[in-house]
Amino acid sequence: MARVLLLGTPNSGKSTLFNALTGGAARTANFPGTTVDIEQATARIADMEVTFLDVPGAFSLAPRSPEEQVASKALLGEPSPDVVVIVLDAPRLQRSLYLASQILDLGLPTVVAVNLMDEAKAVGRPADVDGLKAALGCPVVGTSARSGEGVDALRTAIGAQLMARTPSRPVPWPLPPAAAQDLDEVAKLVPDEGAGRKRVWAQLALLSGTDLGRPAAFVDDAVARRTRARQSGRDLDSELIGARYAWVESLVPTPVVDPAKPSRSDVIDRVLLHPLWGGLSFVVVMSFVFWLLFAGAEPLVALVEAGVGGVASLATAAFDELGEGEGVLLARNFVVDGLIAGVGGVVIFLPQVALLFGLIAVLEDVGYLARAAHWMDRILRSAGLPGAAFVPLLSGFACAVPAILATRTMPRFRDRLLTMLTIPLTSCSARLPVYTLVIAALVPAQNSWSRPLALGAMYALSTVVTLVATVVLGRFVLRGQASSELIELPPYRAPVASHVARAIVGRVSDFVNEAGRIIVVASVVLWALLAFPRQEADVLVPPDEAAALVAAGADVETLVAQRQLEQSYGGRLGKALEPAIAPLGMDWQIGVGLVGAFAAREVFVATLAIVHGVSGDDVEGDLAARLAPDLSVPAGASIMVFFALSMQCLSTLAVLRKETGGWRWPAAVFAWMTVLAWCASWVTFHGLGALLA
């Protein structure tokens, strides 16, 4: 099967073009560095099956960051791609052509896609496709992937190259004589390559001076030559990079910008990047997001609740037709109170989760996130992190797992590790069901602004604690200054509905697939823990006591259920935890929920639904109503603070182990976050109790 590799600079629309060519679902966003892995999809071109590979964006084949390493290895490794599609950024051709010149030197069959042609025309800098074709010596097609313009022509050009396999020709970049000699001497030491590839490997060794995964002889020679050049007053980086940019500028002159006529982006950026107005804008945007999480999701939550209740009613009716034997009753309880109530207790929050993912996708698509990262740079840098850490940290508010993976775009491991250690403190969407449940139990529905304010307060607490933890860890555990990085500001673009919808579907699917298995298994296990050992009703409530209760008008069945729960395995486990959590205002029933939450935070709501026997059309409302009489404000706040600061996600610990190479850091994160959560909850419970007394 033929392999076609898509390469381009970050934010050039490469992933969007990949989706247009293949109908794939690669994540796209108006923010550089959103692709950290290779996406793969298959399409039929020129009567053959073709595998398209979308690799992370890169500015150069000499890697500075993990995603650039992935891109370089995909291009330079074995097997070589059958065709390389170089995606150029039409409004910013100079930036894209540097990488293109390196790829063309390899001599591989190549097609150039000049993407974002519509944006280039809008800013008055239309790309000369015919001129580029003559200069580059390979097929060149103008495209606008977002609208589909030129995609068919690009597909035809790829098919023609797959049939012809015409190698690209090296670009005529004018090297200084001394640099050319260094390059030729290092290239002689590169084994088993064609002449063009030897020179490319030699260039990368001279530029990076690091192990490129090849035999070390030519790398060692390149390092020695860099040292000698520096001692003689030469700068090899400037000579090699400058020569390429001299060729680029001869092909595409630097555009002249009139400062008296600022662009639309410049005018908006004067506000969003301003030290004061930018901060106020950030607060307004985030406040709107939190308000919309409640107000916008309520109608959808009601629909999902009705659906869950309908399924529970149908299941109950089906079991009722089978009779009232002990086996039938046990099976009905398992299905209705175990599976449906457990999973349904989480599914009802999917509208809020989807809305959160959608809002982040819109902010990415518009181009606002890059501005927020730029504005946050000064704050994060004071905490020991570069501004590039903002996007992984913000992604943590959706889900910690992809957020930790997104740190791969950061070049320095110290910055990556510090960001990964603090991401679990951000209030991910798995905490959202806990917040909304407790807030619904504490705050009356008629207080329309109180609930969003309470939710916003939890996210504010999470943000502040994350920044404080970053300062502490950065100064005392992972000492060092934040690396200096450039943050590219992409142009403002109108969000594309298909992109946002794809992001929502993809992330919600990942969320359900990741948490769904854990939730189903945990719900079944918890139901079993709460249902067994089974005891007869007259053992739990002796006949004499039952008669007295009936005479007093009390509900004997409710008392039987409560005592069955207390004496179950789950009840005993919750009671065993009660001495540790009682100082936090939590009882043994909350303790049972905490046990389930260690599998996944979302299970907490499902567990409480099982513990309290809640099911039907309005699981959230009924559960909140069941909790409200016995849940004080200090106790409710304590629960939310504990969940905000504790580590209760096996998936996050697993991905931390994978990204850090062992269990040392995940164990440390679990330990210090648990201690922090307990102490903060204790202060919250007793502090609020004293204030409200």
Clarify whether residues 19 and 96 are in a common domain: yes
Residue 622 included in any domain: no
* Per-residue pLDDT tens digits for 175-202: 888 998 998 898 888 887 777 788 888 8
Does 244 reside within a domain?
yes
Q: How many residues does the chain have?
A: 693
Which pTM does this prediction carry?
A: 0.63
- What is 225-293 written as a DSSP string? HHHHHHHTT--HHHHHHHHHHHHHHHHSPPPP--TTS--HHHHHHHHHTSTTHHHHHHHHHHHHHHHHH
Q: Which residues contact 152 (CB under 8 A, 6 or more apart)?
A: none
The rounded distance, in Å, linking the Cα atoms of 133 and 404 is: 41
- Residues 246-288 pLDDT 10s: 898 888 876 655 556 666 777 888 888 888 888 888 888 877 8
Q: Looking at per-residue confidence, does 140 or 31 come out higher?
A: 140
214 and 103, same structural domain? Answer: no
Helix, strand and coil in the chain, % to nearest 5 = 65, 5, 30
What pLDDT is recorded for position 364? Answer: 79
User: What does the pLDDT read at residue 88?
Assistant: 94
Last residue of a domain, one of 251, 281, 300: 251
In a 3-state reduction of DSSP, which class is residue 490? Answer: coil
Higher pLDDT, 643 or 302: 643
| 574-595 average pLDDT score | 88
Task: Quick: pLDDT tens for 106-127.
Answer: 999 999 999 999 888 887 778 8
Q: Which helix (H) or strand (E) holds 140?
A: strand 140-142
Give the pLDDT of residue 286: 75
* Listed range (55-64, 178-187, 385-394) with the worst mean pLDDT: 385-394
Look at residue 279 and tell me if it is in a domain. Answer: no
Q: Are residues 56 and 113 in the same domain?
A: yes
Tokens 């936090």 correspond to 584
Domain check: are 159 and 21 in the same one? yes
- Give the 3-state secondary structure of residue 4: strand
Token pair listed for 203: 């260039």
pLDDT exceeds 60 at position 134: yes
User: Does 398 map to a domain?
Assistant: no
Residue 4 pLDDT: 94
Task: Give the closest residue to 257 by CA, choosing from 249, 244, 266, 248.
Answer: 266
Q: Whole-angstrom Cα distance, residue 51 to residue 18?
A: 11
Angle, vertex CA 242, rays to CA 238 and CA 245, nearest 5: 150
Same domain, 148 and 182: no
> Which one of 229, 251, 273 terminates a domain?
251
On whether both 187 and 143 belong to a single domain, the answer is no
Are residue 126 and residue 215 in the same domain, yes or no?
Answer: no
Judgement on whether residues 157 and 211 belong to the same structural domain of the protein: no
* CB contact at 8 A, 50 and 68: no
Indicate whether 195 and 155 sit together in one domain.
no
| 58 belongs to a structural domain | yes
Residue 562 clears pLDDT 80, i.e. is over it: no
Q: Which amino acid would we find at residue 510?
A: D
- Main-chain dihedrals φ then ψ at residue 175, nearest 5 degrees: -80, 140
pLDDT of residue 357: 75
The pLDDT, as a whole number, for residue 516 is 60
Higher pLDDT among residues 212 and 471, named by residue: 471
3-state SS, residue 84: strand
On average, the pLDDT of the chain sits at: 81
Structural domains counted in the chain? 2
Q: Mark whether 117 and 224 lie in a shared domain.
A: no
For the four alpha carbons of 127, 12, 147 and 268, in that order, the dihedral sign comes to negative
Q: The domain spanning residue 143 has which CATH number? A: 3.40.50.300
- pLDDT higher than threshold 80 for residue 130: yes
Q: Which domain holds residue 186?
A: 177-251
- Cβ proximity of 648 and 598 under 8 Å: yes
Give tens-digit pLDDT for 437-470: 899 888 876 666 778 888 888 988 998 998 899 8
> Is residue 688 a part of any domain in this protein?
no
In percent, the amount of the chain with pLDDT more than 90 equals: 17
Contact 115, 17 (CB under 8 A): yes
Q: What is the pLDDT of residue 259?
A: 57
**Closest among 579, 583, 576 to 677, alpha carbons compared:** 583
Note whether 105 and 244 are same-domain residues.
no
Residue 485 has a pLDDT of: 56
What's the whole-number mean pLDDT along residues 409-414? Answer: 74
3-state secondary structure of 112: strand
Q: How confident is the model at residue 205 (pLDDT cuts 50, 70, 90)?
A: confident
Domain's final residue, options 251, 282, 303: 251
481: in domain = no
- In DSSP terms, 113 is beta-bridged to 87, 141
Question: Are residues 136 and 83 part of one domain?
Answer: yes
> Does residue 315 lie within any of the structural domains?
no
pLDDT value of position 559: 73
Pull the structure tokens for residue 425: 């403190």
Q: Note the pLDDT tens digit of each residue in 639-674.
A: 999 999 998 777 788 778 878 888 899 999 999 999
